[in-house]
């Protein structure tokens, strides 16, 4: 199992602010993922990475960006938060096929 950490756990922020959601893993996994999930709804893949300096967009149109400068770190940035960004953001890492999730960040944009 992976040790994967997301911060903050909860965030309430005003419209128009720039925010970065942090995700770190200590297992040296090459693959990492960001998902967005509204309560009771499905997980939508928004970004993923095969390794350092590799990032790909997922299936959900998103105004977020990611970077992968170090293996263990995969932050997600929203340049200008909007109420429509209110959701749960889940980060996962994978040593190969199976993925392990962090605790998530619940974001509320007011």
Partner 1 sequence: QKEVEQNSGPLSVPEGAIASLNCTYSDRGSQSFFWYRQYSGKSPELIMFIYSNGDKEDGRFTAQLNKASQYVSLLIRDSQPSDSATYLCAVKSPGDKLIFGTGTRLQVFP
Using CB under 8 A, list all residues that contact partner 1: 31, 33, 35, 41-43, 45, 48, 50, 56, 58-59, 90, 92, 94, 97-104
Q: How far is the CB of 1 from partner 1 (least distance, A)?
A: 8
> In this complex, which beta carbon is closest to partner 1, that of residue 73 or of residue 106?
106
Whose Cβ is closer to partner 1: residue 13's or residue 43's?
43
Residue 97 φ then ψ, to 5°: -110, -55
Using DSSP, state whether 62 is helix, strand or coil: coil
* Bridge partners, 89 (sequence order): 36, 105
Q: At its nearest, how many Å lie between partner 1 and the CB of residue 34?
A: 11
Of 19, 17, 33, the closest CA to residue 74 belongs to 33
Nearest approach in angstroms of CB 91 to partner 1 is 9
CB of 57 to partner 1, least distance (A): 10
**Separation between Cα atoms, residue 87 and residue 83, nearest integer Å:** 9
Nearer to partner 1, 19 or 104 (CB): 104
C-alpha distance across the termini of the chain, in Å: 36
């Amino acid at each position: 199992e992976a040790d994967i950490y997301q911060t903050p756990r909860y965030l309430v922020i005003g419209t128009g602010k720039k925010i970065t959601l942090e995700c770190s893993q200590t297992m040296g996994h090459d693959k990492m993922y960001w998902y967005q999930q509204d309560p009771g709804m499905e997980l939508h893949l928004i970004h993923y990475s095969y390794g350092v300096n590799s990032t790909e967009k997922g299936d959900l149109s998103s105004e977020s960006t990611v970077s992968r400068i170090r293996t263990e770190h995969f932050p997600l940035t929203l340049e200008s938060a909007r109420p429509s960004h209110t959701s749960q953001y889940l980060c996962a890492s994978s040593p190969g096929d199976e993925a392990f999730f962090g605790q998530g960040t619940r974001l509320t944009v007011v």
